[in-house]
């Protein structure tokens, strides 16, 4: 299988002088295309930093980071923005929906930025919103949707552009267990049917159990990398 993400000897330090936080310590990691992977670990272990490094939202202090065949550590800010726009989808813990846009407009937003023609945008977005269980809610604003429904919009937005990779930061943290299960079912189906690669950061044991692979970070280093051990606590 071809790797869509490849990290070699990646470190990330914050601060300077005598006050330095080593957020990532020599991380080597490969994520295969079409995989469904969870990254777990205690708060402060480096999960969000890892996702930010992979997306190019943050720069590694050292090492190489390759995403979809491109070394993001060598790209300019503009090139990184285009890579994120065209190849990476994001699902945030806090949804990050634009409050002045409807569910339809939020899901359509990335496609507009990509310059996709209006007819194709409409067909793709309407189909996706139906797939995520939001048929008939297209014109509701985020304030008119439950947390689970907002997260479904966020997932639709993340995959509307058919990205190579979806990065999901604690996607089930702010929803109830029933909604979390439904969201996981949805993302697992998208992974299986559309071969979308998902990389999660999570504290949720259900996400860990559903993942095909579990990576555990401890103090910025990988302490476990393989099939999920559902009997272990990783919080």
| Beta pairing, strands 165-169 & 213-218 | unpaired
Q: What is the pLDDT of residues 103-128, one digit of tens each?
A: 999 999 999 999 999 999 999 999 98
pLDDT at position 181, please?
A: 87
Mean pLDDT of 43-58: 92
Residue by residue, DSSP assigns 124-182 as HHHHHHHHTT-TT-TT--GGGS-HHHHHHHHHHHHHHT--SEEEEESTTTTS-HHHHHH
> Which residues are CB-neighbours of 41 under 8 A, at least 6 positions away?
47, 216, 217, 218, 223, 234
**Shortest CA distance to 52 belongs to which of 32, 28, 24?**
24
Mean pLDDT of 147-161: 89
Q: Kindly list the domain boundaries of the chain, sorted by start residue.
A: 3-226
**Contact, 6 vs 66, CB < 8 A?**
yes
Q: How many CB atoms lie within 10 A of CB 225?
A: 15
Residue by residue, DSSP assigns 47-106 as HHHHHHHHHTSS--SEEEEEETTEEGGG--HHHHHHHHHHHEEEE-TT----TTS-HHHH
Angle at 6 between CA 112 and CA 14, to 5 degrees: 85
pLDDT at position 19, please?
A: 86
Report the length, in residues, of the chain: 235
Q: Round to whole Å and give the CA distance between 101 and 188.
A: 27
Q: What is the pLDDT of residues 175-234, one digit of tens each?
A: 788 888 888 888 898 889 888 899 999 988 989 999 999 999 999 999 999 876 554 444
Mean pLDDT of 37-55: 93
Q: Which position has the higher pLDDT, 9 or 15?
A: 9
Q: Round to whole Å and give the CA distance between 164 and 66.
A: 13
CATH number of 3-226: 3.40.50.300
Determine whether 12 is exposed, middle or buried from the number of CB atoms within 10 Å of its CB (0-12, 13-18, 19+): buried
């Amino acid at each position: 299988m071809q790797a869509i993400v490849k990290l070699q000897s990646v470190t990330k330090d914050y601060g300077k002088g005598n006050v330095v936080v080593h957020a990532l310590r020599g991380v080597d990691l490969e994520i295969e295309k079409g995989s469904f992977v969870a990254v777990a670990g205690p708060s402060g272990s480096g999960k969000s930093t890892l996702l930010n490094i992979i997306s190019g939202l943050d720069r590694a202090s050292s090492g190489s980071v390759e995403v979809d065949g491109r070394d993001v550590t060598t790209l300019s800010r503009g090139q990184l923005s285009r890579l994120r726009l065209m190849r990476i989808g994001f699902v945030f813990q806090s949804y990050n929906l634009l409050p002045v846009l409807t569910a339809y407009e939020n899901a359509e937003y990335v496609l507009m930025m990509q310059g996709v023609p209006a007819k194709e945008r409409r067909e793709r977005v309407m189909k996706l919103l139906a797939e995520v269980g939001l048929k008939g809610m297209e014109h509701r604003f985020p304030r008119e949707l439950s947390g689970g429904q907002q997260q479904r919009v966020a997932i639709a937005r993340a995959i509307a552009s058919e990205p190579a990779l979806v990065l999901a930061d604690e996607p089930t943290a702010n929803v109830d267990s029933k909604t979390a299960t439904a969201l996981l079912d949805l993302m697992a189906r998208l992974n299986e049917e559309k071969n979308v690669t998902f990389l999660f950061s999570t504290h949720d044991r259900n996400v860990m159990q559903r993942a095909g692979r579990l990576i555990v970070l401890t103090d910025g280093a990988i302490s476990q990398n393989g099939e999920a051990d559902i009997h272990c606590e990783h919080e």
